[in-house]
Structure 1
Amino acid sequence: MSQSSTPAPVSKATAAREVELKLHVAPADLARIVALPVVTGLADGAARVRRLRTVYYDTPDLWLYAHGVALRVRREAGPEGDRFIQTLKTVNSATASDSAGVAVRREWDWPVAGEVLELSILSSEAIAGLVPSDIRGALVPLFVTDMRRTTLILRPDPLTAIELAADDGVVEAAGRTQPISEIELELKAGRVARLFDVGMLLQQAVPMRIGTESKAEIGLRMVTGRPPAPADSPPLSLSPLTTVAEAYRHIQRHALRQFLANEACALAGGDVEGLHRMRVALRRLRTAHRLFTPLIASAQADRLVADSRALAKRLGPARGWDVTLTDVIAPLSASAKAPPGLPALAAAARSAGSGPARDAVAAILAPSCTAMVLALAAWLEDGAWLTNPDGSRRAALDAPITSVAAGWLTARHGKIGKAPKLPEDAPGWDKLRRRLRALRYTVEFFRGLYPDGATQPFVQALEDLLLAFDTDHDAATSRKMLSALPGVDRKTLAATVAWIDRRAEKRRRALPDLWTRFLATPPFWG
């Protein structure tokens, strides 16, 4: 029996807001984490070891997961006997005001008598809406996690308490198992910046990688068989009351969060959009930093943002082959105009792209990638850049973002120019494309400061124009990459390039009208 509906006194819940940083670590390294000098030097008390067996529940159609909720019953085996905890938690409740890289969840815990799910608890007024009464009868066990957890409290300073949990075990779902080897750093007291500081200390001693998927998300992915999907980038939540400093922090958190959220998809390799969105996130991060640099004036941030640019360059070639395979080879293969030798050309393209794909994965998995993200997040959250500037910069950082947003938008818009005709040379064409892209990112940063109806015409005109430029750039990149392939049939290559050129020419004929429309659309910032 998986659940109990017998009426019973409702246990008193312990509600909490959980803030944690997850770090993946190789199984061979996990056991020595708690003995590292950097850990023992910060430890407050002895380590505690427990066996945790957790059963996760949902409806057969995964109603809870679809609504961002996880429900479980955990058995904790210890020297004083077993105890059982029923937990309801949100999968991730992070907002723009929360740090990138950390999972922020609301959690309710109840002590229960055993592994049987107690439905009566879920009628509690505080959480009844999260598990509606009409789905409770359909809740069934979906998967199990079985962990050996070692925990201890770290105190990097007198005001901070961080629980380090080293988890070694498996997720069991759909007849399969997936090993888990990870460190969770949960903030019990203090500032979130200390999580990243401790994460950096650990990562310097043992190679680690930031994790963004919870065990519940991993288990549900195993149940459904669906690979990680690319993560959308939600709108920024800036308001006219947001200060310049808060806006900078929000925008950079947003970029780091988008980068990390798409990592699992990029590593799985099943959807090219994951890698693309990681690169977009890094470009947004750099664009925002260039805007705010005169006010931030941090050599450390400049160095870290430069590191992000180097990472983006390593991801670029893989993205180029992804575009070639999905936007050229795939549609041409499905076309009646596909040349007979196209399968061989496609095989050559896939082979040529495999090396850059491996390099992109290696770049994401490299310790330097995690070190860059942790260091940038720690710097961003520590806030020394906000508390130590000179008087004039401090006043500017404390001013509302509306004091600079329109001026920055005007400056970006001015770089586009108002020439009635588009550039005819390739360098001028590419420079305009890059400037349009920088303008679009700047518009995305600040459009929330203005009424949506007022922003829409300009945003649409800009996006349509930039899409045409980007598509033309992708076609040129594909043409160049395919033409450089050695040993391919020249007739097949010529037919493929001709097909690319025909489609590109159709798009190019639309560009003058898109350009004219863009120039005629008044900026929404006045």
Structure 2
Amino acid sequence: MPAGHAGSARARTAEADGEPRAEAAEAEARAAEPEAALSLEFVLPPEAAARFGRQAAVSRWRVGRARSLPGDRIWFDTPEGTLAAQGLIVEAPARGPRRLLRIRPEAAGPWHPGQPASVLRELAADAVPEEAEGGGLAAIAAFAGREHAYRLAPPEGAVEARLLTGEIRSVAAQRPAARLTLSGAPAAVLAVARALAADLPMLPPTANLAEEGRALAAGAPARPFRQGAPDTSAATTAEEAFRHAIGHLLEVVRQCTARIAPEATPEPVHQARVALRRLRSVFRVFRRATDCAALRALDGRLREVLAVLGPARDWDVFLGGIAADVAAAFPGDRRIEALLRAAAKEREAAYAAVERMLEGAAWRMLLLDALEVLLLRPWREGAEEARREVLDAPATDFGREILDRRWTRLRRAGEDFASLTAEELHELRLDGKRLRYAAELFAPLFGPKAGRRFLRRLAALQDGLGLANDAAVARGLVARLARQGDAGRAWAVGVVEGWSVARVAADRGAAREAWDRLLRRDRFWSSD
């Protein structure tokens, strides 16, 4: 039986068997035009999109026939790219009026992975939006393809699925593309997405279709939705700051992990780890207001991701740092060269483990579960009045309290800096990192320039203490490369270990200078 008739066939079978018609009626009711409380967009390979209609979830929940519609559209901008510079573009679809789209979110607005481009307003056929600043419009790119619309009725509610397949085209290039948009009640959309992602390699896109068209025409990479530390400046309550930060950082994690490859620079792995650490720091900062089983479980899974990324980053730092310095000091030494080849193989193995993780269904489920936590706010379930008061408290007041506490802890840990042991310096570095993540999180609440100097000085301390940590990690890495009975390898390992020890001694002075400068700076969050 064709999959396209699965929903109606179930209804007919129920009637033929004399069963109550309630089940079929319930499915039809769930499949009524869904209220688009949430729309999530996903990118998937064209070959995977071809399997969409045969997915078990689609066959099980589909009601009625799928509709095939023209999916063609053309994108317009001024020759100077005036609209794109503002994160906008004009789209002319095959059906319906032209419209002005926002293809990149505003910096301080709420965001989460999978948000489709937003329609700002419809335009007359030849209208030029005022945002074009007097410039004329010209076609810059187009999409040619079909859109297939499905009505799905999972138990959580009605969902509309729209699958767009075809090609993005510009004057000089073209490439295949496939996008899936799910719309409906949040719980229903997430349930369908989870069922599909168990088999299909679908992920939130790193750029929407119009931005990819613009980038293809420009011969440049698509611009990321989000990067760096979160901008919480638009948040008024503690909960808003929490949600803005989570949505931003989930997007940064998605952006960075999409660029990870053995042949790429070390930066994507590094920035993915930074974003994950920032995200886990946000969980800890807001724990007394948001602690719940779902967030604790998510935090544990993020820790597992960091454990996979860690070796790749460690080998990147070693090969680009101490190993490169040693190789420069001993040019042409075969023992050093052999050690570095062995290290490069370890790096390849570490990157292979990262790639396996990112290609698996568990990674897709993690992103969806994180989105569910953000969108459904499980920390609100059964929250007592005291917790609700914290969630609704002014974000600036909440931030001041956190920053005061972490600043006090850092100052106490470094009171007798000159006599700190290596272990105590390591703990000081961790305390500094906790304060830095919190300061990055709350600084936008105190003004666009607030905290810049404080953060620079805190970063300098982190760098000084981090070099010592890198040296300690390097010693552990090369110890793993030692081989029984290989005198040349033992000599090379010894050289690297000695180099690392000498580096720690040299770097301690820089860390002390950074510490002294940090203590001289007033706290940006305090009027004292």
TM range (shorter): 0.7 to 0.9
Please tell me whether the aligned partners of residues 112 and 250 of structure 2 are also in contact (alpha carbons under 8 angstroms): yes
Of the structure 1 ranges 362-371 and 399-408, higher mean CA displacement relative to structure 2 is found in: 399-408
Please tell me whether the aligned partners of residues 232 and 441 of structure 2 are also in contact (alpha carbons under 8 angstroms): no
2:114 alignment partner, one of 99, 102, 106: 102
2:166 alignment partner, one of 159, 165, 169: 169
Structure 1 pair 172–356 and aligned structure 2 pair: CA distance change class (3 A): farther
1:252 to 2:254 alignment: no
Aligned to 1:441: 437
- TM-score (norm: length of structure 1): 0.78
Counterpart CA distance in 1 for 2:498 and 2:136 is 57
2:69 alignment partner, one of 26, 47, 50: 50
User: What is the deviation of 1:465?
Assistant: 0.6
User: What is the deviation of 1:352?
Assistant: 1.7
Counterpart CA distance in 2 for 1:425 and 1:199 is 51
2:356 alignment partner, one of 355, 362, 382: 362
In structure 1, list runs of 5 or more residues that go unmatched: 1-16, 77-82, 113-119
Aligned to 1:180: 177
1:145 to 2:143 alignment: yes
Structure 1 pair 18–363 and aligned structure 2 pair: CA distance change class (3 A): same
Aligned to 2:41: 22
AA aligned opposite 1:169: G
User: What is the deviation of 1:353?
Assistant: 0.5
Counterpart CA distance in 2 for 1:268 and 1:349 is 14
SS of residue in 1 equivalent to 2:117: strand
Of the structure 1 ranges 399-408 and 167-176, higher mean CA displacement relative to structure 2 is found in: 167-176
The CA deviation string for residues 49-87 of structure 1, in whole angstroms up to 9 with x for no partner, is 13434455567776654443344555x4xxxxxx68655
SS of residue in 2 equivalent to 1:179: strand
Structure 1 pair 28–368 and aligned structure 2 pair: CA distance change class (3 A): same
AA aligned opposite 1:49: S
SS of residue in 1 equivalent to 2:264: coil
Counterpart CA distance in 2 for 1:512 and 1:495 is 27
Counterpart CA distance in 1 for 2:238 and 2:447 is 20
Please tell me whether the aligned partners of residues 230 and 245 of structure 2 are also in contact (alpha carbons under 8 angstroms): no
Counterpart CA distance in 2 for 1:193 and 1:278 is 28
Structure 1 pair 301–96 and aligned structure 2 pair: CA distance change class (3 A): farther
Structure 1 pair 60–347 and aligned structure 2 pair: CA distance change class (3 A): farther
User: What is the deviation of 1:303?
Assistant: 0.7
Please tell me whether the aligned partners of residues 229 and 441 of structure 2 are also in contact (alpha carbons under 8 angstroms): no
- The number of equivalent residue pairs is 482
Aligned to 1:121: 127
1:237 alignment partner, one of 224, 232, 235: 232
Counterpart CA distance in 2 for 1:106 and 1:491 is 61
The CA deviation string for residues 414-441 of structure 1, in whole angstroms up to 9 with x for no partner, is 3322422256433323222112111111
The CA deviation string for residues 158-184 of structure 1, in whole angstroms up to 9 with x for no partner, is 9x7654222333345686654334422
The within-5 A match list for 1:506-517 is 506-517=506-517
1:412 alignment partner, one of 406, 412, 427: 406
The within-5 A match list for 1:347-496 is 347-416=341-410, 417=412, 418-422=414-418, 424-451=420-447, 455-486=451-482
Counterpart CA distance in 2 for 1:105 and 1:28 is 24
User: What is the deviation of 1:320?
Assistant: 1.2
Counterpart CA distance in 1 for 2:153 and 2:106 is 24
Please tell me whether the aligned partners of residues 170 and 180 of structure 1 are also in contact (alpha carbons under 8 angstroms): yes
In structure 2, list runs of 5 or more residues that go unmatched: 1-35
Counterpart CA distance in 1 for 2:325 and 2:408 is 38
Structure 1 pair 268–350 and aligned structure 2 pair: CA distance change class (3 A): closer
Higher strand share: 1
RMSD (Å), alpha carbons: 3.7
Please tell me whether the aligned partners of residues 229 and 274 of structure 1 are also in contact (alpha carbons under 8 angstroms): no
The CA deviation string for residues 273-295 of structure 1, in whole angstroms up to 9 with x for no partner, is 22222211211221121232232
Counterpart CA distance in 1 for 2:330 and 2:81 is 44
Counterpart CA distance in 1 for 2:401 and 2:259 is 37
Of the structure 1 ranges 309-318 and 91-100, higher mean CA displacement relative to structure 2 is found in: 91-100
Structure 1 pair 18–376 and aligned structure 2 pair: CA distance change class (3 A): closer
